[in-house]
Amino acid sequence: MRLSQFHLHTSKETPADAEVVSHQLMLRAGMIRKLAAGLYTWSPLGLRVLRKVEAVVREEMNRAGAIEMLMPSIQPRELWEETGRWQKFGGQLLKIKDRKDGEFCYGPTHEEVVTDFARSELRSYKQLPLNVYQIQTKFRDEIRPRFGVMRAREFLMKDAYSFHVGADSLAETYQAMYDAYARIFSRLGLHFRAVNADTGAIGGSASHEFHVLADSGEDAIAFSDTGDYAANVEMAEAVSPGPRPAPTEAMHEVQTPTQKTCEDVAALLDIPLVRTVKSVALVGEPGFVLALVRGDHSVNEIKLAKLPGLGDYRLATEAEIVDALGCEPGFIGPVKPARAITVIADRSVAAMADFVVGANRKGFHLGGVNWGRDLPEPDQVADIRNVVQGDASPDGIGRLGIARGIEVGHVFQLGQKYAEAMKATVLDENGKAQVMHMGCYGIGVSRIVAAAIEQNNDANGILWPEPMAPWQVAVCIINPKNDPAVVEAAVALYDQLQSAGLEVVLDDRGLRPGVMFGDIELIGIPHRVVVSGRGLEAGTFEYRARRSPDSENLDMATLRARLG
């Protein structure tokens, strides 16, 4: 690409309303332009980077056996009624009407659509497992869109969904996706951590988030300094004692009389509250374990089976639990329809005491809530974080360190929740209908661009990891208007490097060197080669790596070797 024919629009001024460095640099480099709150246009430069990320994601998804498809972004209300999420999803769901008053939403995610696809397409266990994905625009009406494309309202997501007969097959694909995610973030050159996002502390592996580590991250994650333990703080606090903050207003709001807390239920049954995790509350006494499951999550059997001391158990129906509690259906949580499962253990649950860490405080369960989905998002999410640096790691190995993270990926074993609600079944080997098991796997493609800049920048601008750079090499021409020999040499070099498979941008704009170099540094091109009259006389090119403080004069052969 010749920069004279491209559209580059850089700026020296740091925009006043951009709080974090990635937002500032994306604006200054002219990668994005704001249209309205949480809505951004990707400029030609920005799009080159976005496409790079997309390509790596696509390649690794394909490698892991996922198959690309594309679903509509506009989705009919009826589908969302089937899962109860038309109401439950909350304010993030942008609802729209067509000219016939038909109701739709702009998809914030695609479980409903893909499950509808699966139930119409899949008939037999022989067609499973199936793992499909798309890379597509989502819309979520975030309460506080901020940090540019990091928390936008319209953003690009890769979302994959897998379908299975049985939990084992799901667990296998989940692992394959987990591994693919690790490859994706490694290839993109990011420092990241996979953390337990759901029931990790009780041994489940049903959900992991991938966080890019950066001080500006909105999430806090806790990890063992010497062991493998890593969790988001919502999880970690469930196993770490410490002072609880006063409930926020948002917490009070949901404590209406019909919305019972885990504590209320424990009091009602006159049994101790053992521990709560995310939307799951476990209350128990020897020989009896009750798991209340609220909101979007179902405790699937894999997780339960991993509870130490549980032994054999039986899952009760929702009706049974409602009956046992003597309450109305929907009593158990703020989110309807509430689901509940009773687990009757035939052994003592004393083994679970290992996990009992001072969880019997009012409002405790709120710490594990997935804000915005289970409850309205509070303005101060930080209020619920109280894990202390240096706490012993819950697995007993090492001490907890705390870091801030940006959630760039999320893998989730959904179990049968959606398939059950939408009656998505296939026939098994015996010709019997089986409700499919599902997993879902998201990556914030556009968020990754911002997250990468948070980790890779200096006073002069962006330092792209090579696979994300808009071009790998910039060939800068000094004084092109008056020096045809220099232009000729630069164009020859440009052609040669391109033929060698490198992505090269030729800066032929005729700007003063300082301004030209400023732009090339700001937009983060990893390698810069300067072609000047003086260099030509000496038979050299001036080379500088973006991350190096010094430039070197290299002859062609050395330069070529350096650029790989």
Per CB under 6 A, residues contacting ligand ATP are 109, 140, 142, 151-152, 155, 157, 407-410, 442, 444, 446-447
Out of Mg ion, ligand ATP, none, which partner does residue 157 contact, by CB within 5 to 8 A per kind?
Answer: ligand ATP
By CB under 5 A, residue 151 contacts Mg ion: no
Q: CA–CA separation, 111 vs 440, rounded Å?
A: 8
Smaller CB distance to ligand ATP: residue 151 or 546? 151
The SS3 call for residue 458 is strand
For residue 155, the partner it binds in Mg ion, ligand ATP, none, with Cβ less than 5 to 8 A by kind, is ligand ATP
CB 288 → ligand ATP: shortest distance, Å?
34
Q: Using CB under 5 A, which of the segments 20-28, 383-391, 405-413, 525-533 binds Mg ion?
A: 405-413
Q: Which residues, including other chains, have CB under 8 Å from residue 69's CB and lie 6 or more apart?
A: 132, 133, 134
How far is the C-alpha of 533 from the C-alpha of 478, rounded, in Å? 8
- Whole-number minimum distance, CB 477 to ligand ATP, in Å? 38
CB of 446 to Mg ion, least distance (A): 14
Sequence-distant (6+) residues with CB within 8 A of 58 are 68, 135, 158
Other C-beta atoms within 10 Å of 382: how many? Answer: 12
Integer-rounded Cα Rg, in Å, for the chain is 27
Least Å distance between CB 28 and ligand ATP?
A: 20
Identify what 54 binds: Mg ion, ligand ATP, none; CB under 5 to 8 Å per kind: none
Binding to Mg ion by residue 410, rule CB under 5 A? yes
Query: Minimum CB separation from Mg ion for residue 464, in Å?
Result: 26
Least distance from ligand ATP to the Cβ atom of residue 33, Å: 17
**Residue 447, interface with Mg ion (CB under 5 A)?**
no
Contact between 340 and 289 (Cβ < 8 Å): no
Report which residue type is found at 246: A
Nearer to ligand ATP among residue 405 and residue 535 (C-beta): 405
Rounded Cα distance, 413 and 302, in Å: 10
d(CA 46, CA 6): 12
Which listed option, ligand ATP, Mg ion, none, makes contact with residue 142 (CB within 5 to 8 Å by class)? ligand ATP
CB of 363 to Mg ion, least distance (A): 21
CA dihedral 264, 201, 286, 261 (to 10 degrees): 0
Cβ-closest position to ligand ATP: 444
Residue 520 interacts with, from ligand ATP, Mg ion, none (CB under 5-8 Å by kind): none
Counting every residue written for the chain, the total comes to 564
Decide if residue 153 touches Mg ion (CB under 5 A): no
List helix spans (H) across 388-461: 417-421, 445-455
The stretch among 8-16, 400-408, 423-431, 496-504 that binds Mg ion (CB under 5 A) is: 400-408
Q: Which among Mg ion, ligand ATP, none contacts residue 409 (Cβ within 5 to 8 A by kind)?
A: ligand ATP
When the beta carbons of 142 and 391 are compared against ligand ATP, the nearer one is 142
Our CB check for ligand ATP shows the closer of 205 and 434 to be 205
What DSSP letter does each residue of 310-365 carry, written as one string? --S--BPPHHHHHHHHT--TT-S-SSSS-EEEEE--SS--GGGGGG--S--STTGG
